[in-house]
Structure 1
Amino acid sequence: MPATVLPFLMFQGDGAEALEFYLSVFPGAAIEQIERYGEGGNAPAGSIKLARFRIGEQTVMCTDSPVKHAFTFTPSFSFFVECDSQDDVGRLGEILKQGGAELMPVGNYGFSTLFTWVSDRFGVSWQLNYA
């Protein structure tokens, strides 16, 4: 059996920017481990070779792929965030969707008191919920 299963985000050159953005958006978020490409590596110096960061109790891994791909993130994968307050749903939704998209506006959809689904400027989807 696997010891752990972690979400893994593969960016194409903007991983460091995304990581800094997530650390600024979520209070208490932190880098657990980071390795960057050096000079003469497969990717631009300073880009993320491999990182682990934590949002809440969830550890996430990410990288800046040195190989360019014809695919990126889709809403079929999203982070589901249980918020502590209704204000957090609105605040986080507004911040995360800047430069991205609002997939479902803030509202009561019957399965929770308040919910929104957004895609950030990096293409990562976030479902924000307040039960």
Structure 2
Amino acid sequence: MQKVTPFLMFQNNDAEEAMTFYTSLIEDASIKEIARYDEKGPGKPGSVIQAVFTLKGQDFMCIDSHVKHAFDFTPSFSIYLTCDSELEINRLYYTLAEGGQALMPLDNYGFSKCFGWVNDKFGVSWQLTFPH
């Protein structure tokens, strides 16, 4: 085995918008490569066949699925961020929650001084902690 990479499948042609959003929020993040469908399909022209982006050194792959599935993202798999400050966790939590859903509000839950869990506007789940 060479590598383990989280893979996100978007069903509403949101992959590029999501990658751009995530890489704008998190330092040391970038979109590394994007392959797009053309007019030959089978996906919508310009949508993402496959892309790779990185957040703090962790690669993620994603696609715009041209097939509609009966399933989507679930909070049982989430992206876990350890923040450096209360300012950072507040900024990320409220920005990610905008247009999404707060699952656990920012609070001291005993295992972390400050923890929160949200689904973002694309349905991707994020757990954020500032443990100090």
Is the shorter-chain TM-score for this pair beyond 0.5, marking a shared fold?
A: yes
In 1, Cα distance between equivalents of 2:14 and 2:54: 18
Which residue of 2 is the match for residue 40 of structure 1?
40
In 2, Cα distance between equivalents of 1:128 and 1:57: 17
Give, in angstroms, the shift of residue 50 of structure 1.
Answer: 0.5
> Where do 1:88-127 residues align within 5 Å?
88-127=88-127
Which residue of 2 is the match for residue 9 of structure 1?
8
Indicate the percent of aligned positions where both proteins have the same amino acid.
Answer: 52
Which residue of 2 is the match for residue 53 of structure 1?
53
- Report SS of the residue matched to 1:74: coil
The letter for the 2-side match of 1:11 is F
RMSD value over aligned CA atoms?
A: 0.9
The letter for the 2-side match of 1:69 is H
Q: Determine if contact 2:28/2:57 at 8 Å carries over to the other structure.
A: no
Q: Determine if contact 2:29/2:57 at 8 Å carries over to the other structure.
A: no
The alignment's TM-score, normalised by the length of structure 2, stands at 0.94
> Where do 1:20-31 residues align within 5 Å?
20-31=20-31
Give, in angstroms, the shift of residue 93 of structure 1.
Answer: 0.4
Which residue of 1 is the match for residue 74 of structure 2?
74
The alignment's TM-score, normalised by the length of structure 1, stands at 0.95
Q: Determine if contact 2:118/2:126 at 8 Å carries over to the other structure.
A: yes
Q: Determine if contact 2:32/2:52 at 8 Å carries over to the other structure.
A: yes
The letter for the 1-side match of 2:36 is R
Give unmatched runs, 5+ long, in structure 1: none
Aligned length: 130
In 1, Cα distance between equivalents of 2:102 and 2:17: 21
Give, in angstroms, the shift of residue 27 of structure 1.
Answer: 2.3
In 2, Cα distance between equivalents of 1:43 and 1:96: 28
Q: Determine if contact 2:102/2:118 at 8 Å carries over to the other structure.
A: yes
Q: Determine if contact 2:29/2:56 at 8 Å carries over to the other structure.
A: yes
